[in-house]
Chain A
Amino acid sequence: MCCRGCQAVAEAIVAGGLADYYRHRTAKSGTAAPDAADVVPEWLRQAKLYDLPEVQQSFVRQETGEVREASLILEGIVCAACVWLNEQHLSGLPGVLSVEINYSTHRARVRWDNSRIKLSEILHAVAEIGYTAHPFDPGRQEQIFLKERQAALRRLFIAGIGMMQVMMYAIPAYVAGGDGTMPPWIENIMRWASLVLTLPVVGYSAWPFFLGAWRDLRLRQAGMDVPVALGIGAAFSASVYSTVTGGGEVYFDSITMFVFFLLTGRFLEMGARRKAADAAEKLVKMLPAMASRLPAYPGDQTDELVAVSSLSSGEYLLVRPGESVPADGVVAQGVSRVDESLLTGESRPVPKNVGEKLIAGTINVDSPLVMQIEGLGQDTVLSGIVRLLDRALAEKPALAQVADRVASWFVLALLLVAAGTGVAWYFIEPARALWITVAVLVVSCPCALSLATPAALTAATGSLTRLGLLTTRGHALETLAMATHFVFDKTGTLTSGKMSLLETITLGDIGRNRCLAMAAALERASEHAIANAIAAAAADCEDRFSIEETTNLPGSGIEGRIGGQRYRLGRPAFVAELCGTPVPDALLHGRESATVVALGSENGWLALFALGDTLRPDAASLIKGLQQRGKTVVLLSGDQEEAVQQVAQQLGITEVHAAMTPQGKLDYVRGLQREGAVVAMVGDGVNDAPVLAAAGVSIAMGGGTQVARASADMILLSERLFHLLAGVDISLKTSRIIRQNLAWAFIYNLIAIPLAALGHVTPWMAGIGMSASSLMVVLNALRLVEPDAGKGRK
């Protein structure tokens, strides 16, 4: 059960005798709620900002009076029950006029009366039941996509129904087979009816092929659309000619079937790609950052909320704990620690004192800071990295274009053969020349050839998405299969990127569990990474302590009383003040890569806790699996040598480079590529973004930064490294199937074209040959769909 809301829904469903629902549902909930619960407190504080008119400008549509309409992205929706719950809940709020949730896209359209309810209250209501809603700008792209999808549906349907009906008219002629049982007038009327129904199929459904062919011709290229358009055009003209003159053959059934198959392939492909893109888009938070400005600092410390775009250099800002730093600048007041993992990949927060630099996009962890702005917008360190990323994107190696070039040679050869056949038959038997030329074009129709790759890719993309590995670029699968080098980032990729307890060293006579429980009790009021790590480790300790007089000294630690005794938890130096004796150096030695927190009382030292980043549980099996498959595994990290080496040794990686800058990583990957390696890069931070873009194929972790996800070809949403290995296997299988498909299409053409050129192929044979070959290709591709339909069910 993902949350109490779902529990309520579940109870309602069971009570209503609809328990069958759990047998039918296809997605298991589970990941949604913990995430949503984490996010809520942080951003709800900011939700009020969404009520400001200048913030609303970009995503709220004003109707008459106070009626407003906005589009929201809903996070955490895993099944239809969630949609129902949200709809019920929101529409029950006073002032909400209508709610529509699209289950496929996870978008909600909400209309409300602004005089009775505020947008922030609606967002809050969604958060209450365990989901997260973000306003977003539906924008032009969304509308364009909707239009494209509708147009594709119309084309597909017209081609489909045209195909069925034309086939009905064609069957009698095939059955009679010209043995005289069908009078010419019946055949004539059938032909005219077919002509009328084929007209919209050719004129409307097949129109994109003609447009594509025209574009190719103008650019002097030979794309797949050229023979398709020529085949359709020639077959249709020839059929119209013989219908009007009452002689020869008609190809209407072949034409409609051909168009229908091609459109089906394209439609499925479009849907799958869109689905992949959608999920990626949802991950991106799309709202402008707001900042608290201190207009009268240092005289007056009252702050006001303003949009970041209206800030200027030299102004003072207040950055509360948990907030992102909105601009580059220096600390003017306060002491805190700042999480710069976004930029450096370093998971430990960095202490900041007055006069030290703050970088936009980093997160203030401990206590409020006042900062003076030095750089905004284009001048920030972050936008410098983004520019680096843009450059890398522009230089992307286009492996995918190779496939296009091969296809275009095939097409060119095909056109030459058709032309040659036409000319040859013109001299041998002019009456049959046109028909045979058309037969060559129809029989060799590159249907199988043009379906070979997309059908396999679509099926594989679907399987991967179910594994939680999202493909966002078309070439990703092909390149993943060819990859020779796998380059990993350390923090957040091979490690979890979160603090956890690595080691406990007891120094007094109190046992490990009691020490942990005491530490957890002292940290109870605190929300930081260390406190969370200790609390998680102490979760199964049975001792419970109550604390009195807790004082929190930011940057040092916590002091409190347990049963009359004073205890301190924090930096060793801070605890040493209470214990009276300094901590033995030998114990700290060798643990430089970890954060050490000490626990002590007036009577002496009790324990040391070493905290740090831990390896993901399946990292070792992934590395081993990749090495078994003959791939070279490389570890590139911005962290210090020692920490990186330690991880590499645990995982058995021999090629290790530590303390790399983003530029350094980029140069290293470029170097590999110059030597002919196909590089797959796995990373998660902003510092990985440029190198992700430069790599042949890049995989970002789902929990990684936005920029990393935006520049990656694949996103590992499940965060399970094991799935990456499964992804590599699927990609290998995919490339094998694509090769089989291409080989089949090639052999088919090799046999069929000469037969057609020699005049042995009648139109119905061409039609059957064409559809059989496409069917083979599609069925072969379907082998990529994992038989895991029952997996997600309860």
Chain B
Amino acid sequence: MEILYLIIPISVILIFLIIWVFLWAVKHGQFDDMEGPAHRILMDDDSSHTEPSEEKRSNEA
């Protein structure tokens, strides 16, 4: 049971570590756009997908 003397302070330190990580994330804008990234993952950045849209555009112009 004496291990609690070690484990509980460690859990407290762990919490502060988590808080620090979170603060870092907030500071670097990780939470500024909560919706975009979820959608962005569906969009491929491959050039094969960009070109058709560019063709369309020049046709239109």
Contact = CB atoms under 8 A, between A and B. Distances in A.
A158 B40 contact: no
Contacts of A9: 53
Interface string A189-202: 11001001100100
Contact of B57 (A12, A83, A129, A190): A129
A149 B4 CA distance: 38
B56 A5 contact: yes
A85 B42 contact: no
Contacts of A760: none
Interface stretch (A16-24, A55-63, A448-456, A679-687): A16-24
Nearest to B36: A103
A189 B32 contact: no
B49 A193 contact: no
Nearest to B5: A189
A398 to B, nearest CB: 34
A150 B31 CA distance: 8
Interface of B: 1, 4-5, 8-9, 11-12, 15, 18-19, 22-23, 26-27, 31-36, 39-40, 42-46, 49-50, 52-57, 60-61
Contacts of B15: 161-162, 165, 197
Contact of A92 (B23, B34, B50, B61): B50
Contacts of A8: 52-53, 55-57
Interface in A129-158: 129, 146, 149-150, 153-154, 157-158
A21 B38 CA distance: 12
A754 to B, nearest CB: 38
B53 A193 contact: no
Given A128-B60, A154-B22, A18 B44 contact: yes
Contacts, number: 113
B42 A102 contact: no
A40 to B, nearest CB: 12
A190 B52 contact: no
B42 A21 contact: yes
24 contacts: A4-B60, A11-B52, A25-B39, A80-B39, A80-B43, A81-B43, A83-B39, A83-B40, A84-B39, A88-B50, A89-B54, A89-B57, A92-B50, A102-B32, A103-B35, A103-B39, A128-B61, A150-B27, A158-B19, A162-B15, A165-B11, A186-B4, A189-B8, A193-B9
A150 B18 contact: no
A640 to B, nearest CB: 45
Given A80-B40, A81-B43, A150-B26, A12 B49 contact: yes
Nearest to A6: B53
Contact of A104 (B23, B27, B36): B36
A98 interface: no
Interface of A: 4-5, 7-9, 11-13, 15-16, 18, 21, 24-25, 79-81, 83-85, 88-89, 92, 101-105, 128-129, 146, 149-150, 153-154, 157-158, 161-162, 165, 168-169, 183, 186, 189-190, 193, 196-197, 200
A647 B12 CA distance: 71
Interface of B is mostly: helix
A146 B57 contact: no
A89 B5 CA distance: 60
B39 to A, nearest CB: 3
Contacts of B4: 186, 189
Contact of B53 (A12, A153, A162, A186): A12
B44 to A, nearest CB: 6
B22 A190 contact: no
Contacts of A161: 15, 18-19, 22
A84 B35 contact: no
Contact of A84 (B5, B40, B46, B54): B40
A23 to B, nearest CB: 11
Which 3 residue pairs are nearest across A and B when measured between Cβ atoms? A80-B39, A103-B36, A8-B53
Nearest to B19: A158
A102 B57 contact: no
Contacts of A25: 39
B10 to A, nearest CB: 10
Contacts of B23: 154
Contacts of B27: 150
A102 B52 contact: no
A193 B9 CA distance: 7
Given A16-B49, A196-B12, A128 B57 contact: yes
B53 A89 contact: yes
Contact of B39 (A7, A79, A129): A79
A129 B33 CA distance: 24
Nearest to A204: B19
B32 A154 contact: no
A169 B60 CA distance: 66
Given A150-B26, A154-B26, A197-B12, A24 B42 contact: yes
Contact of B33 (A81, A89, A103, A162): A103
Contacts of B43: 13, 80-81, 84
Contacts of A158: 19
Instruction: Point out which of B5, B27, B39, B40 has the most chain A C-beta atoms below 10 A from its C-beta.
Output: B39
Contacts of B32: 102, 104, 146, 149
Contacts of A150: 26-27, 31
Contacts of B9: 193
B12 A193 contact: yes
Contacts of B12: 165, 193, 196-197
Nearest to A9: B53
A128 B56 CA distance: 11
Given A128-B61, A150-B26, A200 B19 contact: yes
B36 A83 contact: yes
Contacts of B33: 102-105
A169 B15 CA distance: 13
Contact of B34 (A21, A79, A101, A104): A104
A146 B28 CA distance: 12
Contacts of B46: 16
B39 A12 contact: no
A602 B15 CA distance: 92
A5 B36 contact: no
B42 A18 contact: yes
A732 B57 CA distance: 48
Given A128-B57, A157-B22, A193 B11 contact: yes
Nearest to B60: A4
A680 to B, nearest CB: 33
A441 B15 CA distance: 29
A63 B48 CA distance: 34
B9 to A, nearest CB: 7
Contacts of B34: 104
B48 to A, nearest CB: 8
B12 to A, nearest CB: 5
B8 A190 contact: yes
A697 B54 CA distance: 47
Given A81-B39, A128-B61, 8 more contacts: A13-B42, A83-B39, A88-B53, A89-B57, A104-B33, A150-B31, A153-B26, A190-B8
B47 to A, nearest CB: 10
A193 B8 contact: yes
Given A12-B52, A161-B18, A186-B4, A104 B39 contact: no
Contacts of B42: 13, 18, 21, 24, 80
Instruction: Point out which of A13, A24, A84, A169 has the most chain B C-beta atoms below 10 A from its C-beta.
Output: A84
A15 B50 CA distance: 12
B31 A80 contact: no
A104 B8 CA distance: 41
A4 B31 CA distance: 32
Contacts of A84: 39-40, 43
